[in-house]
Amino acid sequence: MSDSRLTPDVGDRDHIDGPSDALATLVEFGDYECPYCGMAYPIVKELRKRFTNQIRFVFRHFPLSEAHPHAEHAAESAEAVAELAGKGSFWAMHDVLYENQNALDDTSLAEYAGQVGADADAVARALASGTYRPRVRSDFKSGVRSGVNGTPTFFINGARFDGDWQDVDEFALALQGALVG
């Protein structure tokens, strides 16, 4: 772990999967178009499965728009789906976006939104108008305040995890350590 601390702490505005009383909280700052985040996606899924009901997982947007031109709209589409189809639908859209990283144009984003239960036309309109841009930028700013400078960046119980996230066993060991204090 490093000296970098998560700012702000996890709260009601976050997308959270897992029990609210979990002893360990894993926060990811991610970019849906980032190939490294794409590599991290199955690792995080494995950890979430390994630690079912023991950890809570939080995802915050950190689109690196200069390198990944579709990342911001992908993040906005996830927010639109969460708002239009219910907060729980965020995770379905999150998964679809990572599973389709090579097709994140606006037409595809609207199609994915429809697949997970949101009104595709409403999502397309939200993307065109920038309705959810402030929400995504709020996450981005929290990342900057937390010392994030690339994706993916992980925090465990508020402290930045600087270990090897590509080594699922090392990552799991850090989470296990957070569970026992």
For residue 155, is pLDDT > 70? yes
- The predicted structure's pLDDT at residue 157: 97
Closest by CA position to 80, among listed 130, 17, 14: 130
Q: How far does CA 137 lie from the centroid of its chain?
A: 13
Least confidently predicted of 2-6, 28-32, 76-80, 118-122 = 2-6
- Report whether pLDDT(76) > 70: yes
Q: What pLDDT is stored for residue 4 in this prediction? A: 86
Domains of the chain: 15-180 (3.40.30.10)
Whether the model clears a pTM of 0.75, i.e. scores above it, the answer is yes
Residue pLDDT, tens place only, 2-32: 568 999 999 999 999 999 999 999 999 999 9
Q: What is the DSSP letter of 5?
A: B
How many whole angstroms from its chain centre is CA 51?
Answer: 18
Tokens of 129: 């108008």
Q: Which residue has the higher pLDDT, 155 or 86?
A: 155
Instruction: For 141-151, write each residue's pLDDT tens digit.
Output: 999 999 999 99
| Cα 106–Cα 40–Cα 118 angle in degrees, nearest 5 | 35
**How sure is the predictor about 87, in pLDDT bands with cuts at 50, 70 and 90?**
confident
Average pLDDT over residues 122-143: 98
Q: What are phi and psi of 59, to 5 degrees?
A: -115, 130
User: If you average pLDDT over residues 128-136, what whole number do you get?
Assistant: 98
pLDDT at 2: 56
Average of per-residue pLDDT across 117-141 = 98
